[in-house]
Amino acid sequence: MSEVGCCIAGGGPAGMMLGLLLARQGVEVMVLEKHGDFLRDFRGDTVHPSTLRLLDELGLADEFLQLPHQEVTRLGVTTDDGTYVLADFGRLPGKFSFLAFVPQWDFLDFLADRARRLPNFHLLMNAEAVGLLREDGQVIGARYRIPDGGEQEVRAPLTVAADGRNSVLRVDAGSRLREFGAPMDVLWFRLSKGPEESSPSFGGAGRITRGRMLVRLDRGDYWQCAYLVPKGGYAALQEAGLESFRTDLARLLPDGAALEALRSWDDVRVLSVRVDRLPRWHQPGLLFIGDAAHAMSPIGGVGINLAVQDAAAAARLLAAPLRSGVVPPRRLGRVRLRRLLPTVVTQLVQRQIQTRMVSRILAGDRPIGTPRLLRLLDRHPVLQGLPARAIGMGVLPEHAARPLPAGAGPRP
């Protein structure tokens, strides 16, 4: 059995960032990651200005941006009437006036590498959290399973469930979600760039028409595509056949677009979209953050960055009590209080977009005109900075904690 200051279940953006931040603040940390690497079928890869600013405060932004990446300054939408700019990140103040597109496994590998340089950070790969340890009504750690090693235990004054929207620890804790529903699922796949295709002046391109919606993200030599279907609609597409799906895509793509990369349904991944959140994010000795506390819609690509912001707030509020070895429940509750407004506002906006725009588009029962908002932004480009601010920085962006006080260190 191991004993640390904080046990974190889940090596995604929330868990890895929290582990790094707490270790920098002198807390003995163990992160449990159930996979042997960070590769996933579906991983969002937008790193927003709020996250880049946080990395910069840690002195890591310049190193991070040395990784292969795309810098996107504008996002646009193409309707049947033409192409419109939705958000211009070049209008944001500060040094990070762009979105950075980096494969999420590279982002997580980067965080893990920097965290491993700290002597009080421990990352266990192939270690799947399977349950909680309890004593006298309080969570005192977690149980995890390793290949050929059976179940192991780790004890800690605080266990953080950052194990995603299907959180095992949340189920074990008996926490119930408030679910808001979603009208769509997302099909995620790659398309090669056609020989006559050139990149648009913006790196993210949405295409909407009657009954269909496609988002393409420029990855240099290929397009990462998200095709929206009605909730549960993937089975109907499969029944109609791959060739029918390719024909539908061809109607949404410019002439010369290459579809050869889409050879079978194995090339398509399905994201079941959910929007939910926990009414209560903590129990004595246990805290939920990231998707384990609130699953976000992929609209705006903000889920990763909200998870990172959760981690930054938790590290700032909890590092000092963790160094003392005692984390009062009231202090855990402050993490939710800090992060509740960004979560509620973001989910409210996503739900409104889903109801007022996405549902109507996918219904296919009426012609789709250009939304008034896009026309307004086109007439007054200065307003394009407002959605850029909402997407890129969000509500209440967090800052890194102050440097560790002199003489402070891991709990004995």
pLDDT at 251 over 80: yes
- Which range among 181-195, 222-236, 302-316, 321-335 shows the weakest confidence by mean pLDDT? 181-195
Q: What pLDDT was estimated at residue 405?
A: 58
Q: What pLDDT was estimated at residue 211?
A: 86
C-beta separation of 227 from 214 below 8 A: yes
pTM: 0.92
Q: What pLDDT was estimated at residue 70?
A: 85
Tell me the average pLDDT across 64-83: 89
Number of neighbouring beta carbons within 10 Å of residue 383: 15
How many C-alpha atoms does 331 have within 13 Å on its Cβ side?
A: 17
Number of neighbouring beta carbons within 10 Å of residue 58: 18
pLDDT averaged over every residue in the chain:
90
- The C-alpha atoms of residue 113 and residue 20 are separated, in whole angstroms, by 10
- SS3 of 266-293: HHCEEECCCCEECCCCEECCEEECHHHC
State which fold the 2-179+274-392 domain adopts: FAD/NAD(P)-binding domain (3.50.50)
The pLDDT confidence band at residue 42, using thresholds 50, 70 and 90, is low
What would the pLDDT profile of 216-229 be if each residue is shown by its tens digit?
877 777 888 899 99
Query: For the chain, how are helix, strand and coil distributed in percent, rounded to 5?
Result: 35, 25, 35
What would the pLDDT profile of 15-24 be if each residue is shown by its tens digit?
999 999 999 9
- The C-alpha atoms of residue 116 and residue 108 are separated, in whole angstroms, by 12
The pLDDT confidence band at residue 401, using thresholds 50, 70 and 90, is confident
Tell me the average pLDDT across 196-204: 53
